[in-house]
Structures are given as structure tokens and as C-alpha cells.
């Protein structure tokens, strides 16, 4: 496909940017209040971040079936399914809060994971109709839609979380409305359904052959580490801030700055990848993530939280968008459903482990919130080393055509 053929791709990107901006607002909402709501419902403080872990677990387990649905019935069907999961998650979560039932609240969190999984495919959908030249920019622009969600989500938390006698109930009701209204955008998307393969069509590589392809393996590792570390630290941030004496409003502002930093660079990340190469951008992201941990370990002043979370968002942007671009160019269209589902299964599997570890490290690895926060940020080091070593190994290999 030539760059001149990108008219359809640009229209699809515009729809996906709007979806990322509006529907995506529910994710910063959930990550801001999920741990605090869990803390109010759970009998054991170590389980406070379990609702967020269940969101990510739901995303991990639904990644492969959602990808298969998109492969057979098209992107639009999968995106509608995601919005349905988000609305159901908001409804069940609200019911759990109304009853004061932690198990029901967890079921709602799990259902929200279906939306999170579908949202993860927005970036791949942006690449479906794009030329090779436009592909990294298309992915980057769609991720940039999160810039608006970073503003909408935390502000909705402030406006709705205390709107009812039951704390956070209003926020979960707002999530239902977001999914119902936002799903209408998908009527505008124009991505052809993948053609039914002929009997003699190439079957493509097996999942094992795909994941053992060096470029794909390194892309998946870097995506896993970037996303897992972002989730590990972000999940604990509201708990750490409230534990250190700051207000929920302070925590919402810090999370908002973090999500802004996650998506604002997306306006130029694709251009940077095109100019400097995807490996260098991913490496830069890993270095910035290490800087976020260093700032967080330096103290618990409000400024430390703001700077650390901004760096965390920026590092995630470079690391995750870079890894996504690397992966998108390393497999064929007929391998799309198989590889993208496997990628998100592995990525969100790592994020699930990170979010589970986050609550334990934060609440059960010291006597104070500051000690727990230190443990969370120290846990970044071995994963950053793993991703950095894998990326360096790939950069030292002779480049082969692997797609």
C-alpha cells in the first residue's frame, strides 16, 4: 500500500482517536478509584488492588477470544463487544458498591477487563488500512487520543465519586453511560473484514514459531515490561499518596498528569520512530522508566509523585508504542489474529502479575506507606534489566526480513 492510499486509514484513525479519548476515559477512572474502593471493601488491606488486578486478568483472558472474533467478524464487532463488557463491568461494580460486597465488586472489575482488552486493539486496527509509511504515525495518533481521556477521566472521578452516599458509586454509574454513548462511534469505522482464507492459502507460522522469531520475541518482552511496570507503579500511587497524607483529589491530579504524559508524546512518537528507528525509541523508553523509579525513591514530597508519574507515562509511551510498531511490522496479515491475540495475552498476563504484586508490595512489605512505596519502585529494576538486555541483543543481531 502506498502513502497516497491512506485516505481510508486516516478516517479510521480519526474514529479510533475519538474512541480512545471518550471510551478510554473509563480506564484512568478505574485506576484512580479501583484500589481505594477495594481498600474500603476488602477485609485484608493486602487485597486493596485486587479489583485492578481483576481488570487486567479479564483483559488477559479475553485477549485471545476478542482477537479471534475480530479476525472472523471484523474489528467493529470486537469493539462493540468491548463496550458491552465495559458497561456490564460498571453496572456490576456499582451494584457491588451498593451492597458493600467485595466479591461482586470483583466480578464487575473482571468484566471491565473485556473493554480493556478491546481497547488494546485500537492501536492494531489503526495499522490495518495504513501504508508502511503511515503505520507508525497511525498507531501513535490513536494512542494520542488518550490525552483527552487523561483529562476527562480524573475530572469525572472528582465530579461523581462522592455524588452518592456510597463512595465511588457515581463514578461507576458514569462508566455505564460512557460505554453506551461511546459505542456509537464504531458505526463510523471502515475496516474490511479479513477475507476467508482459501483452502490452499498460506497458513502462516504457528504461535510457537511466531513467538520464537527474535524480533517478535523482543517486541513482546519490551511491551510486557513497559506496560507491567507502568501498571505496578500507577496502581500503588493513589494508595501511597493517601497513606502519606495527601487527599484523593491530589491523587487524581497526579494520575491525570501521568495519563497526560502517557499519551501527549504520541503526537510525535511515530515521527521519532520513523527518524531514529524503533529500537532506539524503545531503549529511550526503558531509560526514562528507570528515571521514574529513581525520582520516586528520592522522596515522597508531592513534587516527587508528580515528576515520577510524568516520567513513568513518558517511558511507557516510548516503550509500548515502539514495541507495538516493532510487532506490527514483524508478521503477515493472515497471522494477525493469532499473533496480536497472543501478544496481548502475554502483555496483560505480565500486567496482571504486576498489579497483584503492587498491592502486596504497597501494603504488606513494611510498616508505613513510604516503605511500601519504596518496595514497589525497587521492584522495577530486574524487569528493566531483562528488557534492556533483550533489546541490546536484538540490536546486535544482523537484521533479517522476518515479516
Q: Which domains does the chain have, with CATH numbers?
A: 3-189+205-395 (1.20.1250.20)
User: How far apart, in whole angstroms, are the C-alpha atoms of residue 66 and residue 341?
Assistant: 8
Q: Where are the alpha helices (DSSP H) in 129-244?
A: 135-144, 146-160, 169-182, 207-211, 214-243
Q: How much is the pLDDT for 391? A: 94
Point out the least confidently predicted range of 16-30, 185-199, 204-218, 311-325.
Answer: 185-199
Averaged pLDDT, 317-328: 89
User: Residue 100, CB half-sphere, CA atoms under 13 Å: how many?
Assistant: 4
Task: Check if the beta carbon of residue 311 is closer than 8 Å to that of residue 295.
Answer: yes
Residue corresponding to grid cell 461511546: 182
Point out the least confidently predicted range of 3-7, 180-184, 231-235, 279-283.
Answer: 3-7
- The 3-state DSSP composition of the chain as helix, strand, coil percent (nearest 5) reads 80, 0, 20
User: Given a cut of 50, is residue 215 above it in pLDDT?
Assistant: yes
User: How far apart, in whole angstroms, are the C-alpha atoms of residue 157 and residue 392?
Assistant: 41
Averaged pLDDT, 6-22: 90
Q: How confident is the model at residue 1 (pLDDT cuts 50, 70, 90)?
A: very low
Task: Check if the beta carbon of residue 57 is closer than 8 Å to that of residue 89.
Answer: no
3-state class (DSSP) for residue 365: coil
Q: Encode burial over 221-241: b for 16+ CB neighbours within 10 A, e otherwise.
A: bbbbbbbbbbbbbbbbbbbbb
Could you tell me the three cell numbers for 53?
Answer: 488486578
Averaged pLDDT, 149-155: 85
Could you tell me the three cell numbers for 323?
Answer: 514495541
User: How many CB atoms within 10 Å of residue 97?
Assistant: 25
Could you tell me the three cell numbers for 77?
Answer: 464487532
User: How far apart, in whole angstroms, are the C-alpha atoms of residue 361 and residue 144?
Assistant: 31
Q: What is the mean pLDDT of the chain?
A: 87
User: How far apart, in whole angstroms, are the C-alpha atoms of residue 330 and residue 132?
Assistant: 12
What backbone torsions phi and psi does residue 164 show, to the nearest 5 degrees?
-120, 170
Tens-place pLDDT, residues 156-214: 988 888 888 888 999 999 999 999 999 999 999 988 876 666 666 666 788 788 888 89
Q: How confident is the model at residue 269 (pLDDT cuts 50, 70, 90)?
A: confident
Task: Please choose, from the candidates 46, 182, 168, 174, the residue with its C-alpha nearest in 3D space to the C-alpha of residue 105.
Answer: 168
Averaged pLDDT, 351-363: 82
User: How far apart, in whole angstroms, are the C-alpha atoms of residue 327 and residue 216?
Assistant: 6
- Cα R_g (the chain), whole angstroms: 20
Amino acid at each position: 500500500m502506498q502513502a497516497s492510499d491512506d485516505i481510508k486509514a486516516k478516517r479510521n484513525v480519526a474514529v479510533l482517536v475519538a474512541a480512545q479519548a471518550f471510551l478510554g476515559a473509563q480506564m484512568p477512572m478505574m485506576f484512580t478509584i479501583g484500589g481505594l474502593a477495594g481498600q474500603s471493601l476488602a477485609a485484608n488491606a493486602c487485597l486493596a488492588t485486587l479489583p485492578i488486578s481483576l481488570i487486567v486478568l479479564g483483559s488477559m483472558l479475553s485477549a485471545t477470544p476478542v482477537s479471534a472474533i475480530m479476525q472472523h467478524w471484523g474489528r467493529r464487532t470486537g469493539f462493540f463487544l468491548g463496550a458491552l463488557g465495559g458497561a456490564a463491568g460498571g453496572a456490576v461494580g456499582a451494584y457491588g458498591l451498593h451492597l458493600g460486597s467485595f466479591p461482586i465488586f470483583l466480578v464487575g472489575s473482571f468484566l471491565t477487563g473485556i473493554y480493556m482488552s478491546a481497547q488494546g486493539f485500537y492501536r492494531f486496527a489503526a495499522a490495518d488500512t495504513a501504508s508502511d509509511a503511515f503505520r507508525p504515525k497511525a498507531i501513535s495518533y490513536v494512542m494520542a487520543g488518550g490525552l483527552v481521556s487523561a483529562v476527562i477521566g480524573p475530572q469525572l472521578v472528582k465530579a461523581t465519586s462522592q455524588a452518592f452516599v456510597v463512595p465511588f458509586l457515581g463514578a461507576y454509574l458514569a462508566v455505564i453511560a460512557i460505554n453506551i454513548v461511546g459505542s456509537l462511534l464504531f458505526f463510523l469505522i471502515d475496516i474490511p473484514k479479513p477475507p476467508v482464507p482459501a483452502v490452499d492459502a498460506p497458513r502462516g507460522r504457528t504461535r510457537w514459531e511466531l513467538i520464537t522469531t527474535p524480533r517478535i520475541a523482543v517486541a513482546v518482552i519490551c511491551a510486557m515490561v513497559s506496560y507491567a511496570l507502568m501498571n505496578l507503579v500507577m496502581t500503588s500511587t493513589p494508595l501511597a499518596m493517601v497513606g502519606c497524607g495527601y487527599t484523593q483529589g491530589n491523587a487524581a491530579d497526579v494520575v491525570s498528569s501521568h495519563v497526560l504524559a502517557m499519551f501527549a508524546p504520541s503526537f510525535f512518537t511515530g515521527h521519532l520512530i520513523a527518524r531514529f528507528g524503533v529500537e532506539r525509541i524503545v531503549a529511550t523508553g526503558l531509560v526514562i522508566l528507570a528515571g521514574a523509579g529513581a525520582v520516586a525513591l528520592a522522596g515522597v514530597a508531592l513534587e516527587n509523585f508528580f515528576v515520577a508519574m510524568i516520567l513513568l507515562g513518558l517511558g511507557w509511551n516510548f516503550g509500548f508504542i515502539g514495541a507495538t510498531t516493532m510487532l506490527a511490522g514483524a508478521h503477515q496479515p493472515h497471522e494477525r489474529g493469532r499473533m496480536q491475540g497472543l501478544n496481548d495475552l502475554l502483555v496483560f498476563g505480565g500486567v496482571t502479575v504486576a498489579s497483584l504484586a503492587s498491592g502486596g508490595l504497597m501494603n504488606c512489605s513494611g510498616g508505613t506507606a513510604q516503605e511500601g512505596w519504596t518496595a514497589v519502585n525497587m521492584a522495577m529494576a530486574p524487569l528493566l534489566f531483562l528488557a534492556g538486555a533483550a533489546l541490546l541483543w536484538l540490536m546486535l543481531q544482523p537484521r533479517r526480513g522476518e515479516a
